[in-house]
């Protein structure tokens, strides 16, 4: 059977859902993000807290993957992971990163750039124990980003942990697992526009203030 060839070049989407003007923006980009995020929740965007996290290795090789936003405050965007994973190692060597939220249902995206720091042990403990027990055990069972011989390696380890903690005792947070927070110094809000004339408004931190500028699409 011959597979049908797809002409990728003809795939197009019309962007006609709205515009974004400087007058609409809040003075603080975190508050602006909250507004957009709440709208994404109201419009039933699929996993609105899913975001691409981009890091850079010691030899300058960029790497990107999807992680979940799990905390948001005035200091920035929080997520949790294995400190010994690829992203953890790269953030240890270069604590600068970028985030990208893409909400196609709203024809919007948000780009965030800044420096990353670890959350406190207390914050990591609180979130770890808020997770389902299966997820807690999975964080212990998985040597994230390392090569394994097969899926059965993970299944066997998980079975052992389930037996170990079957009496419902508190599962200890592994020391190699916890939270990071990206502290933004630049946030871009993108609204799809007709004829590809998208609106791109960027907040850039200048001292303790934020300045807004418009970029050509």
Sorted by sequence, the CB contacts under 8 Å of residue 173 that are 6+ apart come out as: 124, 125, 128, 129, 136, 139
| Paired residues of 116 in beta bridges | 182
Catalytic machinery residues: 196
CB neighbours (10 Å) of residue 179? 22
DSSP assignment of 23-79, as one string?
GG--SSHHHHHHHHHHHHHHTT-SSTTEEEEEEE-TTS-EEEEEEE--EEETTEEEE
Q: Is residue 119 within 8 Å of residue 73, measured between CB atoms?
A: no
- Coil, strand, or helix at residue 131? coil
Task: DSSP letter for 96, please.
Answer: E
Handedness of CA 119, 121, 124, 130 (dihedral sign): negative
Q: What are phi and psi of 7, to 5 degrees?
A: -85, 95
């Amino acid at each position: 059977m011959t597979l049908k060839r797809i002409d990728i070049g003809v795939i197009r989407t019309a962007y006609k859902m709205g515009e974004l003007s400087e007058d609409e923006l809040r003075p603080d980009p975190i508050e602006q993000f909250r507004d957009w995020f709440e709208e994404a929740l109201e419009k039933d965007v699929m996993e609105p807290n899913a975001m691409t996290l981009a890091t850079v290795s010691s030899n300058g090789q960029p790497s990107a993957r999807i992680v979940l936003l799990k905390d948001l405050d005035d200091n920035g965007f929080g997520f949790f992971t294995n400190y010994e994973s690829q992203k953890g190692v790269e953030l240890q060597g270069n604590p600068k990163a970028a985030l990208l939220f893409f909400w196609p249902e709203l024809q919007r995206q948000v780009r965030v750039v800044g420096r990353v720091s670890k959350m406190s042990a207390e914050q990591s403990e609180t979130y770890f124990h808020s997770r389902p027990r299966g997820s807690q055990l999975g964080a212990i069972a998985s040597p994230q980003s390392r090569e394994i011989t097969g899926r059965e390696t993970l299944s066997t380890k998980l079975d052992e942990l389930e037996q170990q903690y079957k009496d419902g005792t508190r599962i200890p947070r592994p020391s190699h697992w916890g939270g990071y927070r990206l502290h933004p110094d630049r946030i871009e809000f993108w609204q799809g526009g007709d004829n590809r004339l998208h609106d791109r408004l960027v907040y850039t931190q200048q001292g303790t203030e934020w300045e807004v500028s418009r970029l050509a699409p």
